């Protein structure tokens, strides 16, 4: 489909209007993004909890690495399972299941045998701790693949970027909340055994909100229509759109679904994707986007920020509080990104972001290795400022854009499995970094950031050459363009 055809298709939809349906859509977004809040808190809490946990339980660096990375590797499989389950039973029931996993996983972590009233630390206690982290990882991975898809399918195309992007904003809010809660709990209860358990326990609260909130939320109308439940899809659309807009969108969705049925296209599995050139290419591009996002280095900061701050020269008393600063910048960048998402092309965001992140890593490497040597009083503050620039660039231009892009690029019949596969690869890259960063820092110190700079330059070239534009198209137009391969034409990449 050409851009002209796409524009013509957009003009057939009535404009968005204010009313109760708009408020209802806003409520749906608020409740669903508690999944993103849990994602952020569970990944961010380790930043402050891992050091007291290691000291109390007597873990060596490898054991600690398994505790941290077990969540991340499990998240890779959670993304796959979550995407598969969402295609089978629906987006809404899957998110409810994830809320239960968040809660139960938290209980296993905070009540794992270890010290004090929880008994002596033992292989059994370590196993329970790892099991709880794996459950949380499955929930985090599932939320990372299902919640953005749910929001993208509920949103009008005009505000799809900003609405789906709210989930990523809630992720960084969750990470900031974890940093703040960690600092407060450490200041108030740092002398208590098991202080890290208090940090993890907070996760149970948003899990409860997500569970009860999603019980009252509707199913995705696009998933309902894919399953032949036209009347249910219409009923949902009428609660989140004006009547004329709902009917027009329903007609558009039905038209694309009918075209696919006439062409013999059905919901596809991996075998069908691997044998269809157009679907395989877009899946490979999506996987590349996921890998690139992780090698920005953002999670090296989010998981091991306190260790890096200590490496740069900050005192133990200051680390917890100073660590909040990157979290604040991440939230500010996320707010800006949500407001820009429907105004700036996705490719523009990507190219700006990877360019700025690469420059930031170069500055950190040069600054820490040559300009501010160890012992220099300005070294820790220079490191903090440069890290904040990197985090701000990442959150403003890349994080939200990545999750929005992955939620919208796949055709409906493979959206769950395609998103799950791309995010599986993303989380595997994340896990590799979570496991290896301490060893890399031990071997090359701040030279880690020089490695990140090289990788981000390569990522910039990948996006410039291969990644097509998606902004300004309905999901149905993207569905047709991806299926026919038109999405990869030069005009679609501008």
Is position 244 within any domain?
no
Structure-block tokens of residue 175:
């990470």
At 8 the pLDDT is 40
Is position 322 within any domain?
yes
Is position 374 within any domain?
yes
CA atoms within 13 A on the CB side of 85: 21
CA atoms within 13 A on the CB side of 386: 24
Is position 481 within any domain?
yes
At 452 the pLDDT is 94
Number of domains in the chain: 1
Q: What are the pLDDT digits (tens) for 374-396?
A: 889 999 999 999 999 999 999 99
At 416 the pLDDT is 81
Alpha-carbon distances of 355 from 25, 402, 454, rounded to whole Å: 35, 15, 11
Domain with residue 311: its CATH number is 1.20.1250.20
* Residue 228 binned pLDDT confidence (cut-offs 50, 70, 90): confident
* Residue 41 binned pLDDT confidence (cut-offs 50, 70, 90): very high
Is position 252 within any domain?
no
CA atoms within 13 A on the CB side of 449: 23
Among 301-305, 375-379, 418-422, which stretch is predicted with the lowest mean pLDDT?
A: 301-305
Averaged pLDDT for residues 400-410? 92
**Does residue 231 carry a pLDDT above 60?**
yes
Is position 1 within any domain?
no
Is position 274 within any domain?
yes
Please, what is the average pLDDT of the chain? 88
How far is it, in rounded angstroms, from Cα 245 to Cα 249?
Answer: 6
| Number of residues written out for the chain | 494
**Does residue 44 carry a pLDDT above 90?**
no
Domain that holds residue 326: 19-217+265-493
**Does residue 11 carry a pLDDT above 60?**
no
Higher pLDDT, 268 or 230: 230
**Does residue 118 carry a pLDDT above 80?**
no
How far is it, in rounded angstroms, from Cα 53 to Cα 32?
Answer: 31
**Does residue 363 carry a pLDDT above 90?**
yes
* Residue 4 binned pLDDT confidence (cut-offs 50, 70, 90): very low
**Does residue 78 carry a pLDDT above 80?**
yes
Is position 9 within any domain?
no
Higher pLDDT, 434 or 149: 149
Nearest by Cα to 268 from 479, 27, 63: 479
Place of tokens 């070239």: 461
Structure-block tokens of residue 26:
């806003």
At 261 the pLDDT is 66
Alpha-carbon distances of 350 from 357, 401, 403, rounded to whole Å: 10, 7, 12
């Amino acid at each position: 489909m050409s851009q002209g055809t796409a524009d013509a298709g957009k003009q057939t939809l009535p404009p968005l209007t204010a009313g109760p349906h708009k408020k209802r859509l806003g409520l749906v977004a608020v409740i669903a993004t508690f999944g993103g809040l849990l994602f952020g808190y569970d990944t961010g809490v380790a930043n402050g909890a891992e050091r007291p946990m290691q000291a109390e339980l007597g873990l060596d660096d490898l054991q600690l690495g398994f505790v941290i990375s077990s969540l991340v590797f499990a998240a890779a499989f959670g993304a796959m399972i979550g995407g598969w389950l969402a295609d089978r039973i629906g987006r809404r029931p899957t998110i409810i299941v994830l809320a239960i996993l968040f809660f139960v996983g938290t209980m296993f972590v905070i009540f794992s045998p270890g010290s004090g009233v929880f008994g002596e630390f033992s292989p059994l206690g370590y196993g329970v701790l790892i099991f709880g982290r794996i459950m949380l990882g499955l929930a985090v991975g599932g939320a990372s693949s299902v919640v953005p898809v749910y929001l993208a399918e509920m949103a009008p195309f005009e505000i799809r970027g900003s609405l789906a992007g709210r989930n990523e904003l809630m992720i960084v809010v969750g990470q900031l909340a974890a940093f703040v809660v960690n600092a407060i709990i450490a200041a108030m209860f740092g002398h208590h055994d098991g202080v890290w358990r208090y940090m993890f326990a907070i996760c149970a609260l948003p899990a409860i909100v997500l569970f009860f909130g999603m019980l009252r939320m509707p199913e995705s109308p696009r998933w309902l229509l894919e399953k032949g439940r036209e009347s249910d899809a219409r009923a949902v659309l009428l609660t989140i759109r004006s009547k004329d807009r709902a009917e027009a969108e329903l007609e558009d969705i039905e038209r694309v679904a009918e075209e696919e049925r006439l062409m013999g296209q059905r919901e596809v599995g991996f075998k069908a994707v691997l044998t269809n050139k157009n679907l395989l290419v877009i899946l490979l591009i999506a996987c590349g986007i996921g890998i690139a996002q992780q090698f920005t280095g953002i999670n090296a900061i989010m998981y091991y920020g306190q260790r890096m701050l200590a490496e740069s020269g900050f005192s133990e008393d200051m680390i917890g509080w100073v660590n909040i600063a990157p979290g604040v910048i991440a939230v500010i960048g996320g707010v800006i990104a949500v407001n820009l998402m429907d105004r700036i092309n996705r490719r523009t965001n990507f190219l700006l972001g990877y360019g700025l992140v690469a420059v930031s890593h170069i500055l950190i490497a040069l600054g820490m290795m040559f300009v501010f040597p160890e012992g220099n009083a300005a070294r820790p503050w220079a490191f903090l400022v440069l890290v904040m620039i990197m985090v701000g660039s990442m959150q403003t231009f890349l994080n939200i854009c990545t999750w929005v892009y992955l939620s919208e690029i796949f055709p409906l019949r493979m959206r769950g499995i395609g998103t799950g596969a791309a995010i599986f690869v993303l989380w595997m890259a994340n896990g590799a970094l979570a496991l290896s960063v301490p060893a890399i820092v031990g071997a090359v110190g701040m030279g880690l950031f020089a490695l990140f700079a090289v990788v981000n330059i390569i990522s910039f070239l990948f996006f410039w050459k291969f990644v097509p534009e998606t902004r300004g198209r309905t999901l149905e137009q993207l569905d047709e363009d991806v299926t026919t391969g038109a999405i990869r034409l030069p005009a679609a990449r501008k």
